Amino acid sequence: MASGGGNYRNGTHRSSLKGTTTTSIDRPLSVNSNPSKPALKTKSLSSVGASSGLRKSSPGSLGAAKDDAGVPGRVRVAVRLRPRNAEESAADADFADCVELQPELKRLKLRKNNWDTDTYAFDEVLTEFASQKRVYEVVAKPVVESVLDGYNGTVMAYGQTGTGKTYTLGRLGEEDTADRGIMVRAMEDILADVSPESDSVSVSYLQLYMESLQDLLDPTNDNISIVEDPKSGDVSLPGATVVEIRDQQSFLELLHLGEAHRYAANTKLNTESSRSHAILMVHVKRSVKGREPAHSSENGNSTNMAKSLRPPLVRKGKLIVVDLAGSERIDKSGSEGHTLEEAKSINLSLSALGKCINALAENSAHIPVRDSKLTRLLRDSFGGTARTSLVITIGPSPRHRGETASTIMFGQRAMKVENMLKLKEEFDYKSLARRLDIQLDKLIMEHERKQKAFEDEIERITTDAQVRITEAERNFADAMEKERLKYQKDYMESIKKLEEKWMMNQQKQGGERKHVCASFYPTQEQMVSTAEEVAEVKKLLSKETSLRKAAEEEVNNLKSQLAQLKISEASTNSEILKLQKMLEDEAYQKEKLEGEISMLQSQLLQLSFEADETRRRLDRGGPGKVPGGLDSLIAQVRPQLKDSGNGEKASIAKLFEQVGLQKILSLLEAEDADVRIHAVKVVANLAAEETNQQKIVEAGGLTSLLRLLGSSEDETVHRVAAGAIANLAMNETNQELIMSQGGISLLSMTAANAEDPQTLRMVAGAVANLCGNDKLQNKLRGEGGIKALLGMVKCGHPDVLAQVARGIANFAKCESRASTQGSKTGRSLLIEDGALPWIVQNANNDASPIRRHIELALCHLAQHEVNAKDMISGGALWELVRILQECSREDIRTLAHRTLTSSPTFLAELRRLRIDF
Ligand code: ADP
Ligand code: MG
């Protein structure tokens, strides 16, 4: 019973039943097997005072869903893709689907352009191959099971007209039972589970158009009113026909009848069914026998209620299946002849539903349930304690990308999960930014303070040393002068004494010379006095000598003092040197801090950018589920921005205003590697938005990004920069710019050094974009673009191969165009550069993006007779024949056929080989 739907239900249903011993999931659908259920209901009703016995439905279930703790209120959302129809197969032949599904990951990728996609998570992702059985099991079965347990439940289909809402819900499957839709299968399950004696199943079938509710089982009844029990909050339609259903056949007849009336009503009103909502209501009433209200002991504060819960018990559940009006916007000019008022009214219920979902998703205090009939009708059956499933239907065509995107966003909002968590995260961003700011201020202040103290200290030491030196010099000079004067004075005195002596001697000798004449030999006295004089002179001399010695000593003394001073001066100098070194260290630290500061600034910038985006998204009631990681956050946010161009412009304007594009770009060349990485990420994020691309290029961003490929050694920088370049390379002018700045050789070099396949994917994506430019074909090839692409296939990663294949297909297409116009003659440059073997090898690659591109490339190459010989010898003819016979895309098959039959060379070869096709 639970098979197939297991994944969808697991977890949520269980958690909704916490505190009970059994769950409704894993048991068979029987009435009495879950005795603990009433206790749960009583509990959840205690706050709303419901009076209807076991009924869990409560006033304002729509409102009750805003309680985040109420996991059962979480709307489960599945997305279903319709296969291409014949018209799309022909018209979109050259284009890929606008979505790519990853059912095993429960993810959907929405293509933004041929380069970029946004990814969304859903509760279930149903591919174009999903069977009706599986769709029923994952979307509706859990709801049906809980209706059988006495809950209310809703299954809705939302999507553009023609995407398969009615196919999913309303198919009768009378020719082929495998085709049966949700309504029929739900009734089968219900009828199989109830017992005809004690239970009853009844049905109403209605259409809601322009806020008037029509009975599809009784067309005369076309203004049914909705009544709400003010006490219990139960919604009922007293005027609607209610038909008791006993078997499946009578239900099918009833659906037929409803369809016929719907058709007639729409013809009468001159409307299309795609503008109205079809609503099937199934009431299930079951008696619950032999049940003791054991729950009263389980829940002490519900004694009042316990009284009303005594047997006989009746358990009522209501299932509402809504085939919503087409979600496409009504052409207001009135292609269907509607006035604006009518147009508003036609979509009123649908837009009111959207508003309620937004309000619920935002945890808003006010849920505008009363704004439309649809939301009033669903009031007790949507969200809250009721179980709700939404299947959003989309088509594959890239021409309806806008509608598909808005359908996806509707589904995302309906999922409404863990909003609080997200809000907290956003708060953390803010406080982190604030903390970083404060820390930054502190660091700067501390740094300035230290710097100042160092400078002061150095000045003090320098002046101190200066003073000491001057003092020492002065002392030395003073001492020298004193010494010199003393010495001079002594010297003068001794000279004077000697002179006096000498004079005295002269005088003596003058008196005695007369005696000498008489007697040549000195007398005894003369000899004595001379000896005395000599002794005196000797004495004088020795005194003189000792004086000089003293002076010399003094001089030596002074000299040694001077040397001492010199030493102390030297030590002062070395102290100064030490301080200078410290100062240099300090300056280096400062530089490092400045680097850190700019890194923090760039982080801040990115954080504030993201916080802004997140805030705006949350303000607007963004999608519920936001998977972790910044990339996915941005990916989630971006399509919302798309929705409201003004919001995006405002945010970019704000970002530019706050930091300035120039500043962001200048950070690309920052010294610090981390800063560079952050900056290039910011630039890449900006470059992903088409509106920023021109600004980035004008401000020199493209040149900087290219330069980074050459100058940086960091692979992350390479990868992110190449991604940004690839985005910018979608524009023709930018393509020329990239080529003129040596882009091909820079990209080739990056590819040659890359280790991460994602880097190669970015590079290949960029080259692939360049390959699509008619004017650049020769230059691109001349600079080795084709060789570079082929060089990347070594890596073998399918993402890389897909980009290479895209590049080759782009190139072949341009070349083919040029050949047709006569501006190119001679063999394909792809063949010249040796691409053919790889093309042939991968023409039947398992991965469909690779295969598609290559199939197209082969068809383009084959259109020109000059290539035919090489293609035959390279084995391409076999591939073309295979494409013609096996390709699932009709348009490509046709192209291959046309190509083969118009080439004489191919035809001759096929004849020779006796191949018939
Ligand atoms: P809607 O109700 O959303 O306007 P329909 O249910 O009428 O769309 O589907 C439009 C067309 O597409 C119908 O011809 C339908 O048979 C076909 N179709 C829709 N979904 C599928 C599907 N999953 N597989 C095959 N055909 C489908
Ligand atoms: Mg329909």
Instruction: Give 792 or 613, the one with higher predicted confidence.
Output: 792
pLDDT tens-digit map of 695-739? 899 999 999 999 999 998 899 999 999 999 999 998 899 999 999
Least reliable range by pLDDT among 73-77, 586-590, 663-667:
73-77
485 Cβ contact list (under 8 Å, min separation 6): none
Amino acid, single-letter form, for residue 70: G
What is the average pLDDT score of the chain? Answer: 79
Residues 587, 443: Cα–Cα separation, whole Å: 14
CB 271 within 8 A of CB 299: no
What spacing in Å lies between the alpha carbon of 162 and ligand 2's midpoint?
Answer: 7
- Nearest of 86, 121, 81 to residue 97 by alpha carbon: 81
How far from the centroid of its chain's Cα atoms is residue 310's Cα?
55
- Nearest of 700, 667, 697, 527 to residue 599 by alpha carbon: 667
What spacing in Å lies between the alpha carbon of 827 and ligand 1's midpoint?
Answer: 46
Check if 83 has its Cβ closer than 6 Å to any atom of ligand 1.
yes
Alpha helices in 61-203 (DSSP H): 61-64, 86-91, 132-135, 141-148, 165-170, 182-193
Q: What is the pLDDT of residue 40?
A: 28
- The 10 Å Cβ neighbour count of residue 539 is 10
- Nearest of 90, 68, 97, 72 to residue 14 by alpha carbon: 72
Place of tokens 């291959």: 896
| DSSP code string of 259-318 | HHHHHHHHHHTT--GGGSEEEEEEEEEEEE-S---THHHH-GGGHHHHHHTPSSEEEEEE
pTM for the full model? Answer: 0.49
Least reliable range by pLDDT among 619-623, 867-871, 878-882, 901-905:
619-623
- The preferred substitution site among 99, 167, 175 for testing ligand 1, maximizing ligand atoms within 8 Å of CB, is 167
Q: Nearest residue CA, atom 19 of ligand 1? A: 164
Check if 395 has its Cβ closer than 6 Å to any atom of ligand 1.
no
Check if 127 has its Cβ closer than 6 Å to any atom of ligand 1.
no
- DSSP classification of residue 107: E
- DSSP classification of residue 173: -
Residues 687, 702: Cα–Cα separation, whole Å: 10
Residues 252, 561: Cα–Cα separation, whole Å: 124
Query: pLDDT-based confidence at 478, cuts 50/70/90?
Result: very high
Q: Which residues pair with 101 in a beta bridge?
A: 108
Task: Give just the sign of the alpha carbon dihedral 911, 914, 915, 917.
Answer: positive
- Nearest of 541, 547, 540 to residue 483 by alpha carbon: 547
- Nearest of 49, 56, 38 to residue 294 by alpha carbon: 38
Residues 108, 393: Cα–Cα separation, whole Å: 13
What spacing in Å lies between the alpha carbon of 85 and ligand 1's midpoint?
Answer: 9
Nearest-5° angle of CA 389, CA 391, CA 396?
165
Mean pLDDT of the region 252-264: 91
What spacing in Å lies between the alpha carbon of 773 and ligand 1's midpoint?
Answer: 38
Radius of gyration of the chain (CA): 48
pLDDT of residue 613 exceeding 80: no
Query: pLDDT-based confidence at 590, cuts 50/70/90?
Result: confident
Residues 219, 226: Cα–Cα separation, whole Å: 17
CB 708 within 8 A of CB 741: no
Q: What would the two tokens of residue 841 be?
A: 């090898």
- DSSP classification of residue 139: I
Nearest-5° angle of CA 292, CA 298, CA 301?
110
Q: What is the pLDDT of residue 568?
A: 83
CB 56 within 8 A of CB 151: yes
Nearest atom (ligand 1) to Cα of 163: 3
pLDDT of residue 674 exceeding 90: no
- The 10 Å Cβ neighbour count of residue 529 is 15
Q: What would the two tokens of residue 582 be?
A: 């410290």
pLDDT of residue 578 exceeding 50: yes
Q: What is the pLDDT of residue 812?
A: 95
Check if 73 has its Cβ closer than 6 Å to any atom of ligand 1.
no
Check if 167 has its Cβ closer than 6 Å to any atom of ligand 1.
yes
CB 107 within 8 A of CB 118: no
Q: What is the pLDDT of residue 368?
A: 85
Q: What are phi and psi of 111, to 5 degrees?
A: -75, 130
Mean pLDDT of the region 352-358: 86
Q: What would the two tokens of residue 492 be?
A: 């003068």
Q: What is the pLDDT of residue 642?
A: 38
- Nearest of 860, 747, 752 to residue 806 by alpha carbon: 860
Query: pLDDT-based confidence at 67, cuts 50/70/90?
Result: very low
Residues 388, 76: Cα–Cα separation, whole Å: 6
Alpha helices in 314-418 (DSSP H): 340-361, 373-377, 401-415
Place of tokens 């009853």: 200
pLDDT of residue 145 exceeding 90: yes
Q: Nearest residue CA, atom 10 of ligand 1? A: 162
166 is in an annotated binding site: yes
pLDDT of residue 521 exceeding 60: no
Check if 82 has its Cβ closer than 6 Å to any atom of ligand 1.
yes
Least reliable range by pLDDT among 25-34, 217-226, 334-343, 638-647:
25-34
723 Cβ contact list (under 8 Å, min separation 6): 684, 762, 765
- Nearest of 328, 331, 325 to residue 262 by alpha carbon: 325
What spacing in Å lies between the alpha carbon of 256 and ligand 2's midpoint?
Answer: 15
Q: Identify the three-state secondary structure at position 80.
A: strand
Instruction: Give 307 or 509, the one with higher predicted confidence.
Output: 509
448 Cβ contact list (under 8 Å, min separation 6): none
Residues 146, 186: Cα–Cα separation, whole Å: 12
424 is in an annotated binding site: no
Check if 165 has its Cβ closer than 6 Å to any atom of ligand 1.
yes
Distances (CA, A) of 543 to 21, 90, 283, 531: 127, 133, 143, 18
What spacing in Å lies between the alpha carbon of 276 and ligand 2's midpoint?
Answer: 9
Q: Identify the three-state secondary structure at position 413.
A: helix
Place of tokens 């979509």: 347
How far from the centroid of its chain's Cα atoms is residue 446's Cα?
36
Q: What letters, b where the CB count within 10 A reaches 16 and e where it falls short, cover 124-138?
A: bbbeeebebeebbbb
Largest CA distance in the chain: 191
53 is in an annotated binding site: no
pLDDT of residue 179 exceeding 80: yes
- The preferred substitution site among 81, 82, 207 for testing ligand 1, maximizing ligand atoms within 8 Å of CB, is 82
Residues 728, 504: Cα–Cα separation, whole Å: 117
Instruction: Give 586 or 96, the one with higher predicted confidence.
Output: 586
Instruction: Calculate the CA dihedral of residues 389, 395, 396, 398 and round it to 10 degrees.
Output: -120
Nearest atom (ligand 1) to Cα of 161: 4
Residue 513's region, left for phi above 0, alpha for psi from -120 to 50, else beta, is alpha
Q: Which residues pair with 214 in a beta bridge?
A: 207
- Nearest of 24, 58, 54, 33 to residue 42 by alpha carbon: 54
Through-space distance between the first and last CA atoms of the chain, rounded to whole angstroms:
49
663 Cβ contact list (under 8 Å, min separation 6): none
- Ligand at minimal distance from the CA of 278 is 2
Mean pLDDT of the region 651-676: 73
Residues 316, 413: Cα–Cα separation, whole Å: 30
Residues 275, 161: Cα–Cα separation, whole Å: 9
- Nearest of 867, 868, 840, 866 to residue 854 by alpha carbon: 840
Exposure of 833 in the CB half-sphere (CA atoms within 13 A): 22
- Nearest of 713, 720, 703 to residue 749 by alpha carbon: 713
Distances (CA, A) of 681 to 361, 607, 610, 669, 758: 31, 12, 12, 13, 15
What spacing in Å lies between the alpha carbon of 359 and ligand 1's midpoint?
Answer: 31
Query: pLDDT-based confidence at 95, cuts 50/70/90?
Result: confident
Q: What is the pLDDT of residue 330?
A: 61
CB 245 within 8 A of CB 201: yes
- Nearest of 622, 619, 610, 602 to residue 654 by alpha carbon: 610
Task: Give just the sign of the alpha carbon dihedral 143, 149, 151, 152.
Answer: positive
Nearest atom (ligand 1) to Cα of 85: 12
Q: What is the pLDDT of residue 612?
A: 60
65: part of which helix (H) or strand (E)?
A: none
Mean pLDDT of the region 70-89: 81
